[in-house]
Chains A and B, each alone.
Chain A
Amino acid sequence: MASTCYRGIRSTRTFSLCPSALFASRRNGVFFCTMQAPQTKTNKPQHNNPRTRTNEKIIEKYEAVIGIETHVQLATITKAFCSCPYLYGSHPNSNICPICMGLPGALPVMNSKVIEFAVKLGLALNSNLSLNSKFDRKQYFYPDLPKGYQISQFDIPIALGGFIDVDLPLEFGGGHRKFGITRVHMEEDAGKLLHSGNGAQVDLNRAGVPLLEIVSEPDMRTGIEAAEYAAEIQRLVRYLGVEIKNVNSFSAIHKAIDFEISRQALFHSQSQGDQIVQETRLWEEGSQRTITMRKKEGLADYRYFPEPDLPEVVITTDYIDSIRSTLPELPEMKRRRYEEMGLSMQDVLFLANDINVSMFFDEALEKGADVKMAANWIMGDVAAYLKNEKLSINEIKLTPQELAELISSIKGGIISGKIGKEQIADPTEIEKMIEKVLEENPKQVEQYRGGKTKLQGNEGIKRQGEPSALEQDPLREIKCQKLITLKVIPVVTLYSFAFTLDCMSLEGPNGFPDVPHNSYLSLVVNLINMRERKPQSSIFGFSAYSVDDMDGVTGTAPRKIMVVADPGRESVGALEWVLSHAVLEHDELILLHVEHSASWLSLLLKRPHPSPTLTTSTSAAAVAVSARHLEFLDAMKNVCEVAQPKVKVRIERMETGGKEKSSMVMLQCEILSIDLLVIGQRRSLSTAILGYRRSGGMPPREIDTAEYLIEKSKCTCVGVQKKGQKGGYVLNTKTHKNFWLLA
């Protein structure tokens, strides 16, 4: 918590964004405001966003003209004009000296690293660098400004002009944009005021910290363009290694500007344009709206004049060239290169957006990883894991080298993707083990080769957790020997797939891993069964639902499969998996949609009885309720009927009635005697797989509906995550975690 807070505060200063939105109304002239980066959070969400449907029409009549001013805090060791270090989080006034305190007689001396960073950024922004620029004093009184003026650059900044290229995310329509840069200049930060009960106190630790201010041309027209511009600037400075790490919410910029566009457009449409004044507005994340932060009384007169204490900044073309030669590959270049490799724009954006991710990816490629597979791995499991654990890619144990080896092993068919996730330390060790297993179990191997579906010693295993499971396990000894060191017992069949006993916690009470409650052999059997029944399925095909419930899959008895259907991508992924891997002829497929009865829709409809009620899609009442709301359910149903014409499909809808969604789903499973429950999932790898380097405990994660159902459902429940367009699936059941199913 502390660390989150810490980052939050830091972000507002290190990379504060002041987009000033200028609206050129087609009828009403020009008006403008300044936005402050998100700072406050209120706990009361209010739904007062003026961007309603009627508003959309109003907005269409206006064109928003947005320019952005960005402050980048530079990652210099010392401050801009003195030798004080800048260490964030130090005690107030502990990183100060006579110079940054502005004591009488103290003089600033330029930190040349600031100029180097400015030149780097200027080059990266395609700007014209001024060979002779100078510093000026910007004068105003404020207690956090020790000298009574800020050293800045006024009429001759270090870099003028330029542009950046931005690829908009596909979910916002995609497309390439070029945004102009007006100027880049160097300046120093001020201190900060700490308000306490006794009044305000000044902390000058930050005073004199170097900043680069980047001013854009008013080229942005929408919130997403502004947010992407800002994100690209941040990306750029991170690529250049210029900026101090920070966290910032670009989605807040997006939302704030869109809100502001609506707000201002609304005023204009009501002929109340005079209500819009030049001011600084603050985005309130909680209420999702902007509020007035401070109004400027006209343009302040900063009485700029050349800083007499600092000589002119003179840079030579040789110096510029030497810096140019050290520039890394920039995001735009990287995106174009990835594009040429054949990656989709979605992949390109994901991989190039984070310098660390792109470095990881590039390094993995360098070590020989397959482009597409490396991309899938990074975007899929690794990314999900990072997100879940709030880690960055260079904080995990997995190295690009290991990933590359993993991928080539998978590609070579030595191990399955599933094993890959178990963070194999030494692939040769595993190969040796595989050979050993095969040597020691010639009978079983022979049986496999002969196509036998059930292996000796496995027939009795029906239920997980039975002591007999282990005793009857023909590979028990090896397992027990190797479990301690590797936790991975691969079994290789001629089908080139292997899998493991997973979800084992290494930290069992006796140092011996907790033996999982299922047998890998039963899984093998089932897979082969599946193959027999559905030969067109992938060779890695695997039906997780059957793992825990061998009874339910014997023969061709019709089963009831229920998919939790929501309008999100997760549900669609889950359904796709069901259709391609799980459902068989004669099975019945139920699409269950659970509504929050407290949702706006329910409120709108003023339902008298919020208790769980069931309706069907054919019910006239439901159609009357909201035809639009059911569109996605109908679409899903149509997909099912096209993909599996012989499968019966029906839709079930219910309301939570204030209860947990998961318990509603479970109730429904019981009522309908469901054999297999499938739910789309967002989360991915567990900590056991990739591990993390960060010290200290992780905050307990909120268990989501899918996880809850997987653990508690009486029938088999499979959590499905779809990995990209061709990335396959990751499946989770009570006993099988993160089973990777390649497409």
Chain B
Amino acid sequence: MFSTVQNPRFFLFQCRFQLHLVPKPRHIHHSRVICASQVVSEPQTIDLTSTPSSEILNIRKSLLSRERKAIEIAEEYLNRLRQTEPQIHSFLHVSENVMREAEEIDMKIDRNEKLGPLAGVLIGVKDNICTVNMPSTGGSKILEGYTPAFDATAVKKLRDCGAILVGKTNLDEFGMGSSTEGSGFQVTANPWDLTRVPGGSSGGSAAAVSARQCVVSLGSDTGGSVRQPASFCGVVGMKPTYGRVSRFGLMAYASSLDVIGCFGSSVADTAIILEAISGHDRLDATSSKREVPNFASQFVSTEFESKPLKGLRIGVIRETLRDGVGAEVVSTIQTAASHLEELGCIVTEVSLPSYSLGLPAYYILASSESSSNLSRYDGVRYGNQVAAEELNSLYVDSRANGLGSEVKMRILMGTYALSAGYYDAYYKRAQQVRTLVQRSFNSALDENDILISPAAPSAAYRIGEKKNDPLAMYAGDIMTVNVNLAGLPALVLPCGFAEGGPTGLPIGLQMIGAAFDEGKLLRVGHIFEQTLQGCKFVPPLLDESCT
């Protein structure tokens, strides 16, 4: 019913305007019976019974042992993608070259050639990250049909490692949003409950990994856009330290906050991808020259001593477990904290007094920078241009037509905040708050190895629930924006469930580390994940077909 060779734009149109023609109304998608009927009956290879294992390492092992062929693996993922995509809508474009690239890997194996560390791994890429042979729209109508002339550095690194790009994932326009409802093209559904949002802005990337449409995916995190959807979709999401991963090729939203992050179904996969995309890039002056440690090496073992994290100091951020945070979320995080304690950690409560200031400061800074970064989408050189008689109407009409309402609102807010006479009151003050946030994080991290908090105040909410209430939507970012202001790394991994959906809704635990201390976060995350009992984070969409 849905082919990968289909014109992506046609596909979009189908999704947006032919929705009513789909025989089964969307609101009953969460019904187990219907889901089961739509999902593949082919044999699945996803191990759903044990703790998450590294899918990347599995693929590599089976390719090297010639147990499976790359085309078989690719075929399996593509089949699943074809079957789940009509409900989830996580992709804006699906590559036509997946099978060909997989064949090339098989030929390499046949010739006994050296394989890249990510050979045969299907990767989804958020559509605000430039890819040379696929359209990159940033989820915006103004860039509809725009195909970049270059690969983002992160994408190039992945390709160099042998990864197969499966397609471009949906997002809130230019990353501005927290539900992926702000996409200029389509709304993505949460694989755990098709009536709910996958989070945002990297909702497509999170949903795609959650629904196993691809092995891993790239997202971007400006104010929580990797971590919050990871939490909503029950996958692992990594937001690296600002500067760890080159931003070259990432369509800028707020340059001083943006980072490229990654999603995986296990901490190990996330770590492998992070390692692949990290490192200094001479095309990004803000990328760090720090050496990239071997993140992946620490995940081979899944056997742990009784107290593997003995002596590790964990600080639970007090301000994140207060009013306005869902009770289930609070209790799940507290359970996770106890779990960490069981692993040998010393868990204490820490206070970050400036925490509540972060949100308004973030929205001022991000809007200000976005008002500048989005100036280039003027219809003059690329993207959609509206025919106009004179220059001003060319600008006005192209931008009015091409940009969505949330984007326009943020451009207006940012323009206002930077205007003469308001700069000091808004932008400058927000920068001062940013410094305070950084200081309070630094002092908390002096006393603790890792800080923990929820990744979002609630589990996934319903599609449309907050669409017309931007403030409520913004408030949902309270858990994550401070980390961006401080530029710190944070890992989100599923740690429990809240009521809702067919099988409950996943809740994510956010672990915040010191700058460039991703290694520690990943190690702790891995141990946490491998020792977490009674939870398996596979959405019902797949679960049903497999059990």
A657 contacts chain B at the CB level, 8 A cutoff: no
Partner of A148, one of B149, B251, B283, B378: B378
Residue of A105, A106, A109, A143 with most partner-chain B CB within 10 A? A105
Task: Tell me which residues across on chain A come within 8 A of B285, comparing CB atoms.
Answer: 107-110, 309-311
- In the bound assembly, the distance between CA atoms of A147 and B376 in angstroms comes to 5
* A residues contacting the other copy or chain, number (CB 8 A): 28
Task: Tell me which residues across on chain B come within 8 A of A101, comparing CB atoms.
Answer: 381
One of B3-11, B71-79, B415-423 at the interface: B415-423
Asked whether, in the complex, the Cβ of A104 is within 8 Å of the Cβ of B247, the reply is: no
**Nearest residue in A to B248 (C-beta to C-beta)?**
A107
Partner of A303, one of B146, B149, B381, B415: B415
Asked whether, in the complex, the Cβ of A303 is within 8 Å of the Cβ of B419, the reply is: yes
Contact residues of A: prevailing secondary structure: loop
Asked whether, in the complex, the Cβ of B250 is within 8 Å of the Cβ of A105, the reply is: yes
Asked whether, in the complex, the Cβ of A301 is within 8 Å of the Cβ of B420, the reply is: yes
- In the bound assembly, the distance between CA atoms of A679 and B244 in angstroms comes to 79
B201 contacts chain A at the CB level, 8 A cutoff: no
Partner of B372, one of A104, A146, A305: A305
Asked whether, in the complex, the Cβ of A102 is within 8 Å of the Cβ of B381, the reply is: yes
Q: Which A111-159 residues sit within 8 Å CB-CB of chain B?
A: 137, 139, 141, 143, 146-149
- In the bound assembly, the distance between CA atoms of A264 and B245 in angstroms comes to 58
Known: A102-B381, A103-B149, A141-B395. A146 touches B248 (CB 8 A): no
- In the bound assembly, the distance between CA atoms of A308 and B371 in angstroms comes to 13
Asked whether, in the complex, the Cβ of B376 is within 8 Å of the Cβ of A105, the reply is: no
- In the bound assembly, the distance between CA atoms of A474 and B251 in angstroms comes to 89
Task: Tell me which residues across on chain A come within 8 A of B420, comparing CB atoms.
Answer: 301, 303
Partner of B376, one of A146, A303, A310, A311: A146
Asked whether, in the complex, the Cβ of B148 is within 8 Å of the Cβ of A103, the reply is: yes
**Nearest residue in B to A303 (C-beta to C-beta)?**
B418
- In the bound assembly, the distance between CA atoms of A103 and B380 in angstroms comes to 11
A45 contacts chain B at the CB level, 8 A cutoff: no
Known: A109-B283, A110-B285. A104 touches B380 (CB 8 A): no
B369 contacts chain A at the CB level, 8 A cutoff: yes
Known: A102-B376, A107-B283, A107-B285. A308 touches B369 (CB 8 A): yes
Asked whether, in the complex, the Cβ of A104 is within 8 Å of the Cβ of B376, the reply is: yes
Partner of A309, one of B129, B136, B255: B255
Partner of A146, one of B148, B381, B391: B381
Asked whether, in the complex, the Cβ of B251 is within 8 Å of the Cβ of A311, the reply is: no
- In the bound assembly, the distance between CA atoms of A458 and B450 in angstroms comes to 110
Partner of B149, one of A98, A102, A141, A305: A98
- In the bound assembly, the distance between CA atoms of A309 and B251 in angstroms comes to 12
Contact residues of B: prevailing secondary structure: loop
Task: Tell me which residues across on chain B come within 8 A of A310, comparing CB atoms.
Answer: 285-286
Asked whether, in the complex, the Cβ of B248 is within 8 Å of the Cβ of A148, the reply is: no
Residue of B152, B285, B382, B420 with most partner-chain A CB within 10 A? B285
**Nearest residue in A to B129 (C-beta to C-beta)?**
A105
Asked whether, in the complex, the Cβ of A105 is within 8 Å of the Cβ of B130, the reply is: yes
- In the bound assembly, the distance between CA atoms of A351 and B277 in angstroms comes to 59
Interchain Cβ contacts within 8 Å, total number = 101
Partner of B148, one of A104, A110, A305: A104
**Nearest residue in B to A311 (C-beta to C-beta)?**
B285
Contact bitstring A15-29, B, C-beta under 8 A = 1, else 0: 000000000000000
Asked whether, in the complex, the Cβ of B376 is within 8 Å of the Cβ of A305, the reply is: no
Asked whether, in the complex, the Cβ of A103 is within 8 Å of the Cβ of B382, the reply is: yes
B143 contacts chain A at the CB level, 8 A cutoff: yes
Asked whether, in the complex, the Cβ of B130 is within 8 Å of the Cβ of A104, the reply is: yes
- In the bound assembly, the distance between CA atoms of A60 and B11 in angstroms comes to 77
A202 contacts chain B at the CB level, 8 A cutoff: yes
**Nearest residue in A to B394 (C-beta to C-beta)?**
A143
B252 contacts chain A at the CB level, 8 A cutoff: yes
Asked whether, in the complex, the Cβ of B284 is within 8 Å of the Cβ of A107, the reply is: yes
- In the bound assembly, the distance between CA atoms of A109 and B427 in angstroms comes to 24
- In the bound assembly, the distance between CA atoms of A506 and B377 in angstroms comes to 65
Contact bitstring A279-312, B, C-beta under 8 A = 1, else 0: 0000000000000000000000101110011110
Task: Tell me which residues across on chain A come within 8 A of B380, comparing CB atoms.
Answer: 143, 202
- In the bound assembly, the distance between CA atoms of A104 and B374 in angstroms comes to 9
Asked whether, in the complex, the Cβ of B375 is within 8 Å of the Cβ of A107, the reply is: no
Asked whether, in the complex, the Cβ of A311 is within 8 Å of the Cβ of B395, the reply is: no
- In the bound assembly, the distance between CA atoms of A563 and B250 in angstroms comes to 79
Contact bitstring B134-147, A, C-beta under 8 A = 1, else 0: 00101000010010
What is the CB-to-nearest-CB distance from A148 to chain B, in angstroms, rounded to a whole number?
A: 2
**Nearest residue in A to B256 (C-beta to C-beta)?**
A308
What is the CB-to-nearest-CB distance from B515 to chain A, in angstroms, rounded to a whole number?
A: 15
Asked whether, in the complex, the Cβ of B284 is within 8 Å of the Cβ of A109, the reply is: yes
Task: Tell me which residues across on chain A come within 8 A of B150, comparing CB atoms.
Answer: 98, 103, 105-106
Asked whether, in the complex, the Cβ of A305 is within 8 Å of the Cβ of B391, the reply is: no
Task: Tell me which residues across on chain B come within 8 A of A301, comparing CB atoms.
Answer: 419-420
**Nearest residue in B to A144 (C-beta to C-beta)?**
B380
Partner of B375, one of A106, A139, A309, A311: A139
Asked whether, in the complex, the Cβ of B136 is within 8 Å of the Cβ of A104, the reply is: yes
- In the bound assembly, the distance between CA atoms of A101 and B376 in angstroms comes to 10
Task: Tell me which residues across on chain B come within 8 A of A304, comparing CB atoms.
Answer: 418
Asked whether, in the complex, the Cβ of B372 is within 8 Å of the Cβ of A149, the reply is: yes
- In the bound assembly, the distance between CA atoms of A103 and B130 in angstroms comes to 10
10 nearest CB pairs, A to B: A148-B375, A308-B256, A308-B255, A303-B418, A105-B249, A104-B251, A105-B130, A102-B376, A301-B420, A109-B285
Q: List 30 A-B contacts (CB under 8 A).
A: A98-B149, A102-B381, A103-B149, A103-B150, A104-B130, A104-B138, A104-B148, A104-B251, A104-B252, A105-B130, A105-B251, A106-B150, A106-B248, A107-B247, A107-B248, A107-B252, A107-B284, A109-B282, A109-B284, A109-B285, A137-B372, A139-B372, A146-B376, A148-B375, A148-B376, A149-B372, A305-B427, A308-B255, A309-B285, A311-B285
Beyond the given pairs A104-B252, A108-B285, 14 more chain A to chain B contacts, judged by CB atoms under 8 angstroms and listed by A's residue number, are: A103-B149, A105-B150, A109-B283, A139-B418, A143-B378, A147-B375, A147-B376, A149-B372, A202-B381, A301-B419, A305-B369, A305-B427, A308-B254, A309-B255
What is B's interface to A at a CB cutoff of 8 Å?
129-130, 136, 138, 143, 146, 148-150, 152, 247-252, 254-256, 282-286, 368-369, 371-372, 374-378, 380-382, 391, 395, 415, 418-420, 423, 427
